[in-house]
Amino acid sequence: MNYCKNMQNKILKPVLILFVLAYFFLMFGNSILSLTNPDEVFYTQAAKEMSQKNSWMTPYLFGQPQFEKPILLYWLMRLSFMVFGITSFSARFFPALFAILGVIAVYLLARIAFKNEQKAFLAGLVSMSYGLYIGLARSVFTDMIFSVLILFSLVSFFWAYSEKKYRRLGICLFFIFSGLAVLAKGPLGFLIPFAVIFIFLLLRRDIKYFFCADFFLGGVVFLAISLPWYILMVKKYGSVFTYEFFYNDHWRRLIEAEHSSNDTWYFYPASMIGCMFPWSVYVLGSLAYLFLRLKRDASILHLFLAAWIIAVLLIFQFAHSKLVSYIFPLFPALAIITADFLCDFSQAKNKRPIRTASLITCFILFCIPAGLLVSSRIFSAYIPSKAPLYFLALLLLGLAGSFLIFSLKDKFIKSTYTLMLVIPVIMLFVPFVAQDAEPYISSKAACDYLLENYDVKGTILCSKFFARGVKYYTGREVAVIDINGRNFFSPHPIPFFSTMEEVKVFLRGQGPVYGVLKKSALVRIKELPEEEFSYRVLKLIGDEYLVKIEAKKR
């Protein structure tokens, strides 16, 4: 009894510390910036319209059902709206909360597997402090919630596999979290965790583990959680739902690149390293270390982590649509192998690998403040006050110096505590630049100005990038001008003008039309014949030109 109590206390203290740190790293200050274009406003507007229509099952956008993503994120956002109101903080609340819980899950997995408190705690610190994790935790996307559910499912499976007395509970939890992941992002919520455990059991030559009563029971639970919403949507909307969700947003992304510049063989390997900054160099070393462990003395966890990374890369590498967030589910594995590498080589006789990685990292850290100072001169027009930037450069220089001192003294664990502060220190700069930066990333300021100073009626003409934000912040109907451009990957039920003739027809049928336009769209508006149309630039806010266009009366 005392032993169990002591174990609980040993786990509770580090969990509490990680939770508090993760709150400040991942949630604190989430309302400083308004919701950004084009994706945060997309998800928030959909949840907002669901609230307005009192719909819990059908997501809406621009007044019509939309099926780009499943229902779970919208459920969570609606709950958040009910508690906090419709704000940027409430929209970002659940991604941040899941991110905090994900840090705890990484810690628990590492502790279960390594039986080493230092490694487990360091894995938690690494997982909360790299750039991509902090960025997605503070943004309204499905990816954080989806990836953390995948993480929960894989932690549950590993717990079931390594602790036989908890097998039934662990397998049941694996299926519960996988089912919720299907509600978060679709079939990938099934494919990713099952691919991971299949490859793992294949490496372990233990495929028979699949064929047990616990898996059958778990499968029933999985179907009960994941299928009802999809069945309801198919029954209610038929081919409209199946075409948009399964073909356009899944199959089409396999065969067609939404962002053609990303469709290269090296995009995901490079993203794995770059998005783990400031741990990037250590990640390279940890991947090499993992490979050596697999060849020599791989533990169950090393096989599991290798299967985890391989499965996710195999699933996404050959799809033509590539985004960093697609492979986000493998990043917890990178955090754990990085902690393994740091701890093992900090205590090894041969410290050359960690010394080399630390010196390269140190060079990068010293380059950052230098880069900030150079950038302050190049982009001086966008930085009204340079004092905060100089202060940030000084802080980063101090971190780099501390990191160098610890590394030269071979105090590598202490140096990691310094390294984990790099991104949070950079984030301290956000409140000082928010007012100047926000007009370039959000349409809130432009929309507020337009509504406060003009009697805006009818449809607002927008550049494609601004359409969702203008709809969210004004509540007005919108139309898109994108001459010779392509429609949204998933077309929205709004007018989309890709030729000037279409724009002219639209303008002739309206009264005064207000626009929120990029410079390229404004150039095309200037091409309208003067004898038929007049326009006036009302204000430039960030990179958004507010204009008023009128068809002249004949």
Give percent of the chain with pLDDT exceeding 70: 97
- Residue 379 pLDDT more than 60? yes
- Residue 8 pLDDT more than 70? no
- Residue 4 pLDDT more than 70? no
- Residue 307 pLDDT more than 80? yes
Closest CA to 78 of 61, 98, 99, 94: 94
Integer Cα distance of 444 and 438 in angstroms: 8
Q: Where are the domains of the chain?
A: 2-339, 352-433, 443-551
What three-state secondary structure class fits 544? strand
- Per-residue pLDDT of 432-445, as tens digits, reads 888 888 999 999 99
H or E stretch at 537: strand 533-541
pLDDT of residue 511: 86
Is there a contact between 483 and 521 (Cβ–Cβ < 8 Å)?
Answer: yes
Name the residue with higher pLDDT: 52 or 6: 52
- Per-residue pLDDT of 318-355, as tens digits, reads 888 889 999 999 999 999 999 999 999 988 888 899 99
Least confident of 3-17, 265-279, 358-372, 459-473: 3-17
Q: Which residues pair with 533 in a beta bridge?
A: 551
| Contacting residues for 491 by C-beta, under 8 A, at least 6 apart | none
Binned at pLDDT 50, 70 and 90, residue 302 comes out as very high
| Contacting residues for 468 by C-beta, under 8 A, at least 6 apart | 37, 38, 41, 42, 45
Q: Helices 188-204 & 167-185, crossing angle to 10 degrees?
A: 140
pLDDT of residue 262: 85
DSSP 28: T
- Residue 3 pLDDT more than 50? no
- The sign of the torsion formed by the CA atoms of 152, 153, 156, 157 equals negative
- Per-residue pLDDT of 216-247, as tens digits, reads 999 999 999 999 999 999 999 999 999 988 88
The token pair that represents 446 in the structure block: 């432009």
Name the residue with higher pLDDT: 546 or 372: 546
- Per-residue pLDDT of 411-458, as tens digits, reads 988 899 999 999 999 998 888 888 888 999 999 999 999 999 999 988
**To the nearest whole number, what is the mean pLDDT of the chain?**
91
DSSP 380-437: GGG-S--HHHHHHHHHHHHHHHHHHHHHHTT-HHHHHHHHTTHHHHHHTTHHHHHHHH
- Residue 161 pLDDT more than 70? yes
pLDDT of residue 384: 66
Residue with tokens 């991110």: 99
| Contacting residues for 330 by C-beta, under 8 A, at least 6 apart | 272, 308, 309, 312, 313
Integer Cα distance of 288 and 295 in angstroms: 11
The token pair that represents 485 in the structure block: 């451009």
Q: State mean pLDDT over 509-521.
A: 92
Q: State mean pLDDT over 54-66.
A: 93
- Residue 38 pLDDT more than 80? yes
Q: State mean pLDDT over 519-525.
A: 94
**513-517 and 460-463 strand pairing:** parallel
pLDDT of residue 5: 56
What three-state secondary structure class fits 330? helix
